[in-house]
Amino acid sequence: MIGKLNHVAIAVPDLQAASAQYRDTLGAQVGAPQDLPEHGVTVVFVTLPNTKIELLHPLGADSPIVGFLEKNPAGGIHHLCYEVADIGAARDRLTAAGARVLGDGEPKIGAHGNPVLFLHPKDFTGTLVELEEVGKAAEPEAAS
């Protein structure tokens, strides 16, 4: 069902400093900040040859990232995002298997303009999981 790893999200207390560290110290390609009011975060994507890093910073006092950063003041890995071809089918399969979808269960549009859902970390070994619909590109490549 899941396809490739789309990104690893890291909550950071200082988005500008984290962006500079990835750009200047590690030599990575770092995008511009994007505000995502529906998700309560500002994000910056770091593009790597095989995946992306998403730097997350709170957008307002009600951001879900505020609590995470209170518990982890230096920041840390917040979630993993996997690609799926059909987010509705993935949600239905997961809920039938007993997994909990956070929020109202309906996909929201994420930073890439694609539908996303989050799965409860208690159902996935303590890891918050994001699913992002990317269409047929999410299908695993056939072995040759």
DSSP 76: E
Catalytic residue among 130, 133, 139, 141: 130
Residue 130 bears catalytic tag = yes
Three-state secondary structure readout of the chain? CCCCEEEEEEECCCHHHHHHHHHHHCCCEECCCEEECCCCEEEEEEECCCCEEEEEEECCCCCHHHHHHHHCCCCEEEEEEEEECCHHHHHHHHHHCCCCECCCCCCEECCCCCEEEEECHHHCCCCEEEEEECHHHHCCCCCC
> Which residue numbers are catalytic?
130
